[in-house]
Structure 1
Amino acid sequence: MVNSSFKKNTIIIHASSVGEVLALKPFVEKLLHQNPSLTVTFTTFTPTGSTQVINLFTERVQHCYLPFDCWPCTSVFLNALQPKAMVFMETEIWPNLLAQCKHKKIKLLLINARLSEKSVKSYRKLNWLIQPSLSAFDHIYCQSSDNLERFIKLGADINKASVSGNLKYDISINPSLAIKQKELKQFLHHDRKVWVVASTHQGDEDIILSAFKQIKITCPDLLLILVPRHPERFDTIAKLCQQNFNTIRRSQKLKIDTNTDIWLLDSLGELLAAYSLANIVTMGGSFSNIGGHNPLEPALFKLPIIVGPDMHNFTEVMLQLTQQKGIIELTHMNNINEKLCEQVIKLLHNPEIAEQYGNNAFQVVQTNQGASQRSLDKLIELINKF
Structure 2
Amino acid sequence: MMVFAAKELTSRGLRGDWAAIRARLGRVRSRGTHDHIWLHAASNGELTSARPVIEHLVRTGRRVLVTVNTDSALELAQRWDIAGLSALLAPVDLGGPTRRVVQGWTITAHITFESDLWPMRVRETPGPVIVLGARLTARSARGWQRFGALAQSVLEKVTYLSAQDHQSLDRFASLGLKPAAQGPVFDLKALYTPPGDRPDARLLRNFDRPDTWCAASTHPGEDEIVLDAHLKALQQRPALKLILAPRHPKRAPEIAAMIRARGLTCARRSARDDPAQARVYLADTLGEMHLWYALSGVTFVAGSLTDRGGHTPYEPAAFASAILHGPDIGNFRAAYQRLENANAAICVGEANALAHALTALASAKTQQVLADQARVALRQDTDFEALMLDVMQALEP
Q: Does the TM-score normalized on the shorter chain lie above 0.5?
A: yes
> SS where residue 141 of structure 1 aligns?
strand
1:245 is matched with which residue? 264
Alignment partner of 1:199 out of 196, 211, 217 = 217
Of 3, 14, 23, the match for 2:40: 14
Which aligned pairs between 1:102-121 and structure 2 lie closer than 5 A? 105-121=126-142
Q: Which amino acid letter does the alignment assign opposite residue 65 of structure 2?
A: T
Structure-2 residue corresponding to 1:217: 235
Q: CA deviation at 1:237?
A: 2.0
**Structure 2 match to 1:377:** 389
Deviation readout 1:162-197 (Å, 9 max, x if unpaired): 224111111233xxx242334673562547711111
Q: With CA pairs under 8 Å and 6+ residues apart, which has the higher RCO, 1 or 2?
A: 1
Residue 346 of structure 1: which of 351, 360, 375 is its match? 360
Query: How far apart are 1:124 and its partner, in Å?
Result: 0.6
- Deviation, structure 1 residue 264: 1.0
- The residue number in structure 2 matching 1:268 is 286
Give me the whole-angstrom Cα distance separating, in 2, the residues matched to 1:338 and 1:191: 22
Q: Distance in 2 between matches of 1:371 and 1:314?
A: 19
The aligned length equals 370
Q: Does the 8 Å CA contact 2:293/2:316 hold for their aligned counterparts?
A: yes
Q: Give the Cα–Cα distance (whole angstroms) in 2 for the partners of residues 354 and 194 of structure 1.
A: 11
What does the per-residue CA deviation read over 1:1-55, in whole Å, with 9 as the maximum and x for residues that have no partner?
25445444112211112211122122223333x32x2211111011122222223
Q: 2:45 corresponds to which letter in structure 1?
A: G
Aligned match of 1:319 in 333, 337, 346?
337
Is 1:90 paired with 2:114?
yes
- The code of the aligned residue for 1:315 comes to R
- Residues of 1 paired with 2:83 and 2:252: CA distance? 29
The Cα shift of 1:209 comes to 0.6
Aligned residues: CA RMSD: 2.1
Partner Cα separation in structure 2 for residue 247 and residue 337 of structure 1: 20
Secondary structure at the residue paired with 1:162?
A: coil
Q: Distance in 1 between matches of 2:74 and 2:205?
A: 28
Deviation at 1:156, TM superposition (A): 0.6
1:170–1:370 Cα contact (<8 Å) kept:
no
Q: What is the CA-CA distance between 1:241 and the residue it aligns to?
A: 2.2
| Structure 1 Cα separation of the partners of residues 321 and 268 of structure 2 | 24
Aligned-pair distance for 1:60? 5.6
The residue type paired with residue 73 of structure 1 is P
Once the two structures are TM-superposed, the CA of residue 291 in structure 1 deviates from its matched residue by: 0.6
User: Relative to structure 1, is the Cα distance of residues 111 and 265 closer, same or farther in structure 2, using a 3 angstrom cutoff?
Assistant: same
Give the whole-Å Cα distance in 2 for the aligned partners of 1:57 and 1:236: 35
Q: Give the equivalent residue in structure 1 for 2:94.
A: 70
Is residue 164–residue 374 contact of structure 1 (8 Å, CA) maintained in 2? no
Q: Does 1:159 align with 2:180?
A: yes
Aligned mates of 2:375, 2:106 — CA distance in 1? 42
3-state SS of paired residue (1:42): strand
After TM superposition, give the deviation of residue 57 of structure 1 in Å: 4.2
SS at match of 1:156: coil
Mapped partners of 2:267, 2:391: distance in 1: 46
Deviation readout 1:209-245 (Å, 9 max, x if unpaired)? 1111111122121111011111332332233223332
Counterparts in 2 of 1:59 and 1:225: CA distance versus 1, 3 Å: farther
Matched residue SS, 1:252:
coil
Amino acid at match of 2:255: I
SS of the aligned residue for 2:270 comes to: helix
Does the 8 Å CA contact 1:98/1:133 hold for their aligned counterparts?
yes
**Deviation at 1:79?**
1.0
Alignment of 1:221-232 (within 5 A): 221-232=239-250
Aligned-partner SS, 2:39: strand
* Paired residue type of 1:284: A
Query: What is the identity, as a one-letter code, of the residue corresponding to 2:274?
Result: K
**Which letter maps to 2:93?**
D
What letter is aligned with 1:83?
I
The answer to whether 1:171 aligns with 2:192 is: yes
Paired with 2:206 and 2:57, the residues of 1 have a C-alpha distance of: 37
Q: Is the 8 A contact 1:187 1:255 kept in 2?
A: no
**Contact preservation (8 Å) 1:110, 1:141:** yes
SS in 2 for 1:225: strand
**Would you say the 8 A contact 1:169–1:369 is kept in 2?**
no
- Aligned partners of 2:207, 2:116: CA distance in 1, in Å? 44
Alignment of 1:116-131 (within 5 A): 116-131=137-152
Instruction: State how far apart, in whole Å, the 2-side matches of 1:375 and 1:85 are.
Output: 17
Give the equivalent residue in structure 2 for 1:141: 162
What TM-score do the two structures reach when normalised by structure 1? 0.90
CA distance in structure 2 between the partners assigned to 1:192 and 1:276 by the alignment: 11
Q: CA deviation at 1:115?
A: 1.1
Q: Judging changes above 3 Å, is the alpha-carbon distance between structure 1 residues 106 and 172 closer, same or farther for their aligned structure 2 residues?
A: same
Counterpart residue type for residue 145 of structure 1: H
Question: Which consecutive unaligned segments of at least 5 residues does structure 2 have?
Answer: 1-22
Output the CA distance in 2 between the equivalents of 1:219 and 1:296. 27
Are the counterparts in 2 of residues 184 and 274 from structure 1 also a CA contact under 8 Å? no
Give the match for residue 361 of structure 1.
Answer: 374
Q: Secondary structure at the match of 2:366?
A: helix
CA 1:270 to 1:59, structure 2 compared with 1: closer, same or farther past 3 Å?
farther
What secondary structure is seen at the aligned counterpart in 2 of 1:305? strand
- Percentage identity across aligned positions? 24
TM-score (ref. length: structure 2):
0.87
Contact 1:14 1:44 in 2 (8 A): yes
Question: What SS does structure 2 have at the residue aligned with 1:310?
Answer: coil
